[in-house]
Amino acid sequence: MIGASRGTPLRWGEALVRAARGSIVVRIVTASVMAMTPVAEAADAAPDALVSYRVVGDGIPEPLAAGDAARGKALVAARDPANCVLCHGVPDASIPFAGDVGPPLAGIGARLSAAQLRLRVVDNVRVNPQTVMPSYYRVEGLARVASPFRGKPILTAREVEDVVAYLGTLR
């Protein structure tokens, strides 16, 4: 995704179409790329649509979407939107400048199941009420949320699953 005016994220295809303002070449290229988009991305066609989930014990057993560890690594390393490295150390030399406020992520995939990781990403407050970690997918019951962001998760369902897939590789 790339930024648009007022910080609203756009998918790169949308940005190309808007930038070209109707250019036939861009419409053909965008349509070709969209036709090659994997099924998992097609399921994410409505990124603002929330996927319901069920908490069982200390986890969310069913995935919210299909996840990809490579995309998850990029999200964990990025300063926006997840910003995980602000607080967590990551055992990867290619991800410099990690924080030490939260627990290090080394071995997290061996210590926690995918269901447990998913709940911690979706809404860590359920696990630790004193946490400073944001609820990346919860949208209700939050205080002091700027009006443009109300009712919108920080991460999409697919991005949550991407992060969970990457964290699961950290054994």
Name the one residue in this structure whose structure tokens are 């979706």: 122
- Assess whether pLDDT exceeds 60 at residue 86: yes
Reported as a single tens digit per residue, the pLDDT across 3-61 is 443 444 444 344 333 443 443 333 333 333 333 333 334 344 465 689 999 999 999 99
Kindly give, in sequence order, each residue whose CB lies less than 8 Å from that of residue 165, ignoring residues fewer than 6 positions away.
67, 68, 69, 71, 72
Phi/psi at 120 (nearest 5 deg)?
-65, -35
Q: Is the pTM for the entire model greater than 0.75?
A: no
Spell out the domains of the chain, with CATH numbers in brackets.
Answer: 2-36 (no CATH), 69-169 (1.10.760.10)
Kindly give, in sequence order, each residue whose CB lies less than 8 Å from that of residue 62, ignoring residues fewer than 6 positions away.
53, 54
Name the one residue in this structure whose structure tokens are 């996927």: 51
Phi/psi at 29 (nearest 5 deg)?
-65, -45
Q: Reduce the DSSP state of residue 2 to 3 states and report it.
A: strand
Any idea what DSSP says for residue 50? P
pLDDT at 98: 81
User: What percent helix, strand, coil does the chain show, rounded to 5?
Assistant: 45, 5, 55
- Assess whether pLDDT exceeds 70 at residue 141: yes
Name the one residue in this structure whose structure tokens are 């908490």: 55
Q: Which long-range CB contacts under 8 A does 31-40 form with residues at least 24 apart?
A: 40/65, 40/66, 40/68, 40/158
Q: Reduce the DSSP state of residue 73 to 3 states and report it.
A: helix
Cα–Cα distance, 117 to 115 (Å, whole number):
5
Structure tokens at 69: 């560890």
